[in-house]
Structure 1
Amino acid sequence: MSVIYILLTISIIVAIVFFVAFIFAVKNGQYDDSYTPSVRMLFEDELVKEKTKKPIQSKD
C-alpha cells in the first residue's frame, strides 16, 4: 500500500515539472507562429470561383 503513495507522489511531481516547463516555453515564445503571417498575405485575396447555375428548363 505504501508503494501506491510513493508512485502517486512521484507522478504528481513529474506532472508539476512538465506543467512548469510548458508555462516557461509559452512565456518565452516557443509556440509563436512566425511563418504563417508572412505567407498569409499571399493567399488572403484569393479569388473564389462560384459555380454557375444552369437555368431549369421546363417541359411545356
Structure 2
Amino acid sequence: MAELDTETSEVAQQFVALGNESSVQVLAQAAAALSTVREHLAAARQALDEYAAACEQAKGSGPG
C-alpha cells in the first residue's frame, strides 16, 4: 500500500509539473481512496488479531 501511495504521489507531481490540474485532482481522489483502504485494512487486521486472541484464550480455558 505504501508503495502504491508513493507512486500515486509521484505521478501527481509529474502532472502538476505539466500543468494538468484535472489529472492531479483525479490522483488526489485516488490517494484519498487509498487512505480509506489503508484504514479499513488496519481495522480488519485489528479485528482478526482480537479474534485470534479470543480463540487462543477459549482454547486455554476449555476442557482439557
* Structure 2 length-normalised TM: 0.45
Higher helix share: 2
* Structure 1 length-normalised TM: 0.48
